[in-house]
Amino acid sequence: MSLSDALSVLTIAGSDSGGGAGIQADLKTFAAHGLHGLSAIAALTAQHTRGVTAVHVPPVDFLGAQIDACFDDFRIGAVKLGMLANKQVIDAVADALQRHRPAFIVLDPVMVATSGARLLEPDALDALRARLLPLATILTPNIPEAELLLGRRIDDDAAAEAAVEALRALGTQALLLKGGHLQGAGAMVDRYRDAGQRLQFAHQRLDVEGHGTGCTLASAIAANLCLGKALHAACEAATDYVHGALRHAIRPGRSQVAVLNHFWQRTG
């Protein structure tokens, strides 16, 4: 690949001052895949491994300016969407995506932090359904996020299977329902669905309380799409990557919450 052919990946998400999730995790993931990462910061959080202590949402005009600046200068192969705190932010992002029409949009519907802090205002849920789901190449909710999107409990494998179909019916092209929150002693199963196939990606459960796994997974999918993988293959590779990063995780903070080692393939 020549220098002029290089593609970049853009994350539009929230910043994590603790470095384990959000924009920081996204950029590390892009770098680990050998890609140039771009960022448009939709929210700033005061955050560490023990929780979120404050959230600041910049003016939406400035968010739009960040996104436009990225598209004006770089060849963007894929976009990852993360924490978009309120309806105004979601509308601004949707407007920008409709202006620029990227080839791939990976939507991680960040609603609740690992600590339990609510990261999406209630009025934003309808806006996310109406404005972003139709634009998304793939939606990557965890079980609590899927429950909020569907308005019902998902507490076993049968409910998760039914949720896959219901979520995809909301309008996204494809879906990856993350299974880490489902209780059980067996393997952790992520469920993939697109128009033509239904797949499962299983990994051994690890005795680690991870931080930033959802952000990293969505970013890894975007990176693999940018590298030319088919959507289902990008998802499979991303689940393998996150499992390895969690297996090699570290605990830099004072809590038991671990931060992923995004460069485990080079150091582990």
pLDDT in tens, 11-46: 999 999 999 999 999 999 999 999 999 999 999 999
Q: Is the predicted pLDDT of residue 160 greater than 80, yes or no? A: yes
Is residue 116 very low, low, confident or very high in pLDDT (cuts 50, 70, 90)? low
Q: What is the pLDDT of residue 187?
A: 83
Domain count, the chain: 1
| CATH number of the domain that residue 216 is part of | 3.40.1190.20
Q: Is the predicted pLDDT of residue 1 greater than 50, yes or no? A: no
Q: Which residue has the higher pLDDT, 220 or 123?
A: 220
Least confident of 99-103, 180-184, 232-236: 180-184
For the residues 171-189, what does the mean pLDDT come to?
84
Its pTM stands at: 0.94
Q: What is the pLDDT of residue 184?
A: 63
The CA-atom distances, in angstroms, between 72 and each of 27, 126, 222 are 20, 30, 20
- Helix (H) or strand (E) holding 127, with range, is helix 124-127
For the residues 80-87, what does the mean pLDDT come to?
94
Q: Which residues pair with 188 in a beta bridge?
A: 203
Does residue 162 lie within any of the structural domains?
yes
Share of the chain above pLDDT 70, in %: 93
Q: Is the predicted pLDDT of residue 114 greater than 70, yes or no? A: no
Does residue 268 lie within any of the structural domains?
no
Does residue 190 lie within any of the structural domains?
yes
Q: What is the pLDDT of residue 2?
A: 47
Q: DSSP 3-state assignment of 52? A: strand
How far apart are the C-alpha atoms of 160 and 166, rounded to whole Å? Answer: 10
Q: How high does pLDDT run on average in the chain?
A: 91
Tokens 């400035």 — which residue? 62
The CA-atom distances, in angstroms, between 263 and each of 50, 223, 257 are 23, 14, 18
How far apart are the C-alpha atoms of 95 and 257, rounded to whole Å? Answer: 36
Task: Report angle CA 137, 138, 141 to the nearest 5 degrees.
Answer: 155
The CA-atom distances, in angstroms, between 58 and each of 14, 43, 234 are 10, 6, 32
Does residue 80 lie within any of the structural domains?
yes
For 118, phi and psi rounded to 5 degrees?
A: -80, 125
Q: Are 119 and 158 in contact (CB under 8 A)?
A: no
112 burial type by CB count under 10 A (0-12 exposed, 13-18 middle, 19+ buried): middle
| Domain enclosing residue 131, as ranges | 3-263
Q: Which residues contact 168 (CB under 8 A, 6 or more apart)?
A: 139, 174, 175, 193, 194
Does residue 245 lie within any of the structural domains?
yes
Does residue 150 lie within any of the structural domains?
yes
Q: Are 14 and 119 in contact (CB under 8 A)?
A: yes
Q: Is the predicted pLDDT of residue 133 greater than 90, yes or no? A: yes
